[in-house]
């Protein structure tokens, strides 16, 4: 499945224009579905400040949660990549804060992972290692490892991850990520496999990639 091109199509929804995968099976694992809007007849007043809606006080729906608010409580237009919106969209105060926090994840961690890093890769208990470029696929679903050979690991099938560290200076002190140990289940199998990755020459880039990967898999994977 990962070999299918990441085609995109432009669609219009009640919330705005979205650029989404042509094949829904290739949605990013970090994506969110658009919420169902609270029907107008069920919200006579702002769900934040309780101000009643009338001819002068118009109601607006937050594009992230779908609830009704007055203009004052839902005035911010914030980028929402998790729903694939082309432009910033109107969000309530609570949702806009969450979306702004998520932008660091999209602007930094995901870009680092897609950019890739070079590692010495060992599969299972094999004594043979291979220097490979490891990167996250554009749809965020797979790790691609390319060298003399090529293979893929689906993110959702990673069961555990351990970051390997080393002292960043000869004198000791701060440690930095130098590799990682993954356990995953290949497609069509329930038998776990082990993958060991150790930073190659460019250790600074590899360390940044590992830190981003750690955030995705274990720490603060974006929550709905």
Beta partners for residue 89, in sequence order:
78
Confidence band, pLDDT 50/70/90 cuts, at residue 26: low
Write the pLDDT tens digit of every residue in 108-143: 889 999 999 999 999 887 888 999 999 999 888 899
Q: How much is the CA Rg of the chain, to the nearest whole Å?
A: 22
Residue labelled with tokens 């290949």: 186
Entry pTM? 0.72
User: Each residue of 149-166: pLDDT tens digit?
Assistant: 898 998 888 888 888 887
Instruction: Show the tokens assigned to 88.
Output: 């910033």
DSSP strands (E only) in 97-157: 117-123, 129-136, 142-146, 150-154
Q: Which of 2-6, 16-20, 72-76 has the lowest mean pLDDT?
A: 2-6
The band of 200, judged by pLDDT with boundaries at 50, 70 and 90, is confident
Domains and CATH numbers, the chain: 8-112 (3.30.40.10), 116-167+178-222 (2.30.29.160)
What is the average pLDDT value for the chain, to the nearest integer? 85
Q: What is the rounded average pLDDT of the residues 168-197? A: 79
Interior angle at CA 150, CA 166 and CA 115, nearest 5: 55
pLDDT digits (tens, 9 = 90+) for 83-107: 989 999 999 999 999 999 888 888 8
């Amino acid at each position: 499945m990962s070999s299918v091109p990441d085609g995109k199509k432009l669609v219009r929804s009640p919330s705005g224009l979205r650029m989404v995968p042509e094949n829904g099976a290739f949605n990013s694992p970090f994506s969110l579905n658009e919420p169902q809007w609270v029907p107008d007849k069920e919200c006579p007043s702002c769900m934040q400040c309780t101000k009643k809606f009338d001819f002068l006080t118009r109601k607006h729906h937050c594009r992230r949660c779908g609830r009704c608010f007055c203009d004052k409580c839902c005035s911010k237009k914030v980028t929402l990549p998790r729903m694939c919106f082309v432009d910033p969209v109107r969000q309530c105060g609570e949702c806009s804060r969450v979306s702004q926090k998520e932008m660091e994840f999209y602007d930094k961690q995901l870009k680092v992972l897609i950019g890739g890093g070079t590692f010495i890769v060992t599969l299972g208990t094999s004594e043979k290692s291979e220097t490979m470029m490891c990167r996250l696929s554009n749809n965020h679903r797979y790790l691609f490892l390319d060298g003399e050979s090529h293979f893929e690991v689906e993110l959702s099938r990673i069961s555990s991850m351990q970051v390997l560290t080393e002292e960043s200076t000869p004198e000791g002190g701060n440690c930095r990520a130098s590799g990682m140990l993954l356990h995953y289940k290949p497609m069509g199998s329930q038998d776990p496999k082990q993958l060991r990755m150790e930073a190659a020459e460019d250790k600074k880039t590899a360390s940044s990639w590992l830190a981003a990967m750690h955030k995705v898999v274990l720490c603060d994977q974006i929550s709905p």
